[in-house]
Structure 1
Amino acid sequence: MAVPLAFLIGLVFGTGIMISGMANPAKVLNFFDIAGTWDPSLAFVMGGALTVALIGYRIVLRRPRPVLDTCFHLPTRRDIDPALIGGSALFGVGWGIAGFCPGGSIPALGLLRPQAAVFVCAMLAGMAIARRLRARRAAPRPRLS
């Protein structure tokens, strides 16, 4: 039941990304080009997504548990640390340079756009590097006597 439902949810998400134009890097880059060919339409896409998420979370979190799990897995940290700031900055710079965000790049793969494939490969490499750095930082260091 979980896999078909995840597929259906991904299909709806991908369709929304395609319809909104967020899989088109030119449209996304025009959104960031405030002094040039600015296209404010993605602000409405983001506003719509935030509205749906706000309403959805309020409805879903009233349930005692999720439909396909035993409990909700919500973030517990609320602090702002250098990793959060750095990751957010890298996300924004990458989005501004490439015109893709992770959510828009996956449906763009279906359009056989080479830029999407390059972006997804770079994103996966970045995730692997971040995971290794985090593991290295968390590993105990031997003491020198």
Structure 2
Amino acid sequence: MRYLVAAVIGAIFGLGIVISGMADPAKVLNFFDLFGTFDPSLAFVLAGALCVAVPGYFLIFRSRNKPVFDHEFRLPGTRKIDAKLVAGSAVFGIGWGIAGFCPGAAIPTLGLGHTSTVIFVVALLAGIFIARLLQNFKLPSSSARPLPHKP
């Protein structure tokens, strides 16, 4: 049942992405082109999403101690704004501005069969893989012996 509900919710999200026009990267890029072909419709899509999500979150968190299909809500453990958060947000924004896709729109758009979407998703997965590798990379500690100095 859990997977069926997730599939239905994903299908509704994907349908919303297609209906709203956010499956078209040109439409998204036009939103960012303030002094050219500016298209404000993305702002209306985002506002509509907030109008549904904000009351939904308040309703769910006030009425339930745990989600229906899990033993706990999985929320961020901190509200701290650190370098990783800022860098990740910047990479997300730059990628969105260059490609016209965010991960949420690219995944359902894969079903439309556009080559540019496939390239974006492959690059997205490569970026996730590289980020995880870098996250596990540890610098040598300062207690390591310095290299000998050669004159």
TM-score range, shorter chain: over 0.9
1:142 Cα shift? 9.7
1:44 Cα shift? 0.5
Structure 1 equivalent of residue 6 of structure 2: 6
SS of aligned partner of 1:61:
helix
Structure 2 equivalent of residue 127 of structure 1: 128
SS of aligned partner of 1:110:
helix
Higher relative contact order (CA 8 A, sep 6+): 1
Separation of aligned partners in 1, 2:128 and 2:60: 30
1:46 Cα shift? 0.5
Structure 2 equivalent of residue 94 of structure 1: 95
Specify every segment of 5 or more residues in structure 2 that has no aligned partner in the other structure, as ranges.
146-151
1:143 Cα shift? 5.4
Structure 2 equivalent of residue 43 of structure 1: 43
Large movers: runs of 4+ above 2 Å: 139-145
When Rg is computed on C-alpha atoms for both structures, the one with the higher figure is 2
1:15-70 CA-to-partner distances (Å, cap 9, x unmatched) read 00111111100100111111001000110101111221111100111212110011
1:5 Cα shift? 0.7
1:118 correspondence with 2:119: yes
1:117-143 CA-to-partner distances (Å, cap 9, x unmatched) read 000000000000001111114x88595
Separation of aligned partners in 1, 2:144 and 2:84: 28
TM-score, normalised via structure 2 length: 0.90
Separation of aligned partners in 2, 1:123 and 1:55: 31
Separation of aligned partners in 2, 1:34 and 1:144: 52
Separation of aligned partners in 2, 1:67 and 1:75: 19
Count of aligned pairs between the two proteins: 144
TM-score, normalised via structure 1 length: 0.93
1:14 partner amino acid: G
Specify every segment of 5 or more residues in structure 1 that has no aligned partner in the other structure, as ranges.
none
1:73 partner amino acid: R
Identity %: 56
Structure 1 equivalent of residue 104 of structure 2: 103
Separation of aligned partners in 1, 2:116 and 2:142: 44
Structure 2 equivalent of residue 68 of structure 1: 69
Separation of aligned partners in 1, 2:73 and 2:51: 21
Separation of aligned partners in 1, 2:114 and 2:5: 27
1:55 partner amino acid: P
